[in-house]
Structure 1
Amino acid sequence: MPSEAEAAGSVRAAVACQLRQAIVSGRYRAGQRLPERELCSVTGAARSSVREALRQLEAEGLVTIIPHRGPVVRPLPLEEARQTYAARALLEGHVGRLCAQHRTTAQLAALDAAMDAMEVAAKTFDGPGVIDANAAFYAAMTAGAGNAVIAGMLKSIHNRLALLRFSSVQWPGRVAQSMAENQAILAAIRAGDADAAEAACIHHIEASAAIALVILAARHGQDEAVPLQGKKP
């Protein structure tokens, strides 16, 4: 039987997961207040568990707790987004390289399954399904890389960029483009071509960043996004 502390931790993790998904899906928008009473009603959890979950999401960069106002969904600053995408490109490029070098039949099967799920979701215009399948693809690739430190760093990065995923997948033509990019990554990994896998991963993240930064720049009232590498002159 789990201890009282373990049970409380399990509830906190479940509440954090539920709230994280609500933020990622766009149910709660950037800058929107998150009243504890409402969150208790939505999650069915006690206020103490909700507060612990909010502190966890604050550490992940999804929520900020403002004195005398309470928790709100944290808006992602444009420059922070640019830097985060640049870091993601470097890390996931290396993940692609490692996965190509150490690929196994089981890992290739997991990547194939994720691509199949993404194609099904795309055909039915299921945006959240596309996001989930894409996440499964990168989770399989990260597992194949076999580097737990990089996996932890990427988890933090993905959480910070979560608010942009749902908007990006709605960009005209982006789903088809993303699928083609993932197919190129998978082909390179299957062939054991580490250089090509790394380059394909970096290209995919830079393409995603270009769209996400345009969307974010518009939210900030700017005409164009800051380029992924380097600032505007």
Structure 2
Amino acid sequence: MTESPSMKVIRIAAPLRRQVLDNIREAIAVGRLPAGGRLVERELCEMTGVSRTLVREALRQLESEGLVEVIANKGPIVAKFSANQAREVYELRAELEGLASELFADRADERQRKALQEAFAALRAAYVVGERSGMLAAKTRFYDCLVQGAGNETLGVMLRQLHARAMVLRGTSLSQPGRTAASEREIAEIMKAIRRRDGAAARKASIGHITKAARVAQQVLESAAGETDELARRRA
């Protein structure tokens, strides 16, 4: 692992352990900590500027989220997603985020609609810049606003449980050429339906967006798996 200044924890009001967790999770999502790579506590302490205790707590949480695996005699590594695992996550996202979009269109008040519009504007700006961590942060903000306006607490809990894996897969799909422009167009369709207060259309547009993102991510993961298998055959 190479040191990345962006992983340094800034000691602000947010709990320190939360900042450490968020920084390591983001580094995994954008590929600074690559899938299959070892997570050495000493190196993570140097990269984040915090104690081993906080790093260990973060790694335990990331293991519970499915982003870290602990291998016998090797220690923690960044978990690898298979194409099948990605498909399962996207199937759940399509149903849950489709419902969130429908409920938002039907239930959100004017304050919540304004917040979502502002989040969409910030997402568009992040797409223009093209920096992956900025895009992921903007997408997280957008979906947070969407869930808040949906008015269903249980739905929010279920989506938060998927958040870490969804964030990594977003990073995978957005890394592909042309995907950011397509993603912006697809989310614009969701926004159009929401402005019309057309819940059914918002749900359909949301499911379509996630289905297309899933196709891209699965192609990347299948290609990577094929390359790994070919390398293993050559070494055999």
Contact residue 68 and residue 78 of structure 2 kept, 8 A: yes
Matched position secondary structure for 1:42: helix
Count of residues paired in the alignment: 214
- Quote the offset at 1:156 in angstroms: 2.3
- The Cα shift of 1:174 comes to 1.4
- Give the equivalent residue in structure 1 for 2:6: none
Percent identity between the two aligned chains: 41
- Contact 1:97-1:197 at 8 Å conserved across structures: yes
1:157 counterpart = 2:157: no
Aligned partner letter, 1:12: R
Query: 1:128 is aligned with what amino acid?
Result: S
- Report the Cα offset of residue 24 of structure 1: 1.3
2:148 to 143, 146, 156: 143
Q: Is the 8 A contact 2:108 2:151 kept in 1?
A: no
Q: Which moved more, 1:161-170 or 1:72-81?
A: 161-170
* Unmatched segments (≥5 aa) in structure 1: 1-8, 223-233
Deviates more, 1:84-93 or 1:9-18: 9-18
Show the counterpart of 1:202. Answer: 207
Query: What one-letter code is carried by the residue in structure 2 that aligns with 1:103?
Result: A
Question: Match for 2:121 among 116, 123, 131?
Answer: 116
- TM-score, normalising length from structure 2? 0.85
Q: CA deviation at 1:55?
A: 0.4
Post-superposition Cα deviations, 1:149-192, rounded to whole Å, max 9, x if no partner, equal 22122122231133332232132221111111111111111211
CA distance in 2, matches of 1:102, 1:49: 40
Structure 1: which amino acid aligns with 2:105?
A
- CA gap 1:221/1:51 in 2 versus in 1, 3 angstroms: same
CA shift in 2, pair 1:27/1:133, >3 Å? same
- Using the TM superposition, give the Cα deviation of residue 98 of structure 1 relative to its aligned residue in structure 2, in angstroms: 0.8
What secondary structure is seen at the aligned counterpart in 2 of 1:72? strand
Partner-residue secondary structure (3-state), 1:192: coil
SS in 1 for 2:176: coil
Distance 1:124 1:160, change over 3 A: closer
Matches within 5 A, 1:45-194: 45-194=50-199
Residue in structure 1 matched with residue 226 of structure 2 by the alignment: 221
Amino acid aligned to 2:150:
A
Would you say 1:16 and 2:21 are equivalent positions?
yes
Name the CA distance, whole Å, in 2 between partners of 1:100 and 1:85.
Answer: 22
Segments of 5+ residues of structure 2 without an aligned counterpart are 1-13, 228-236
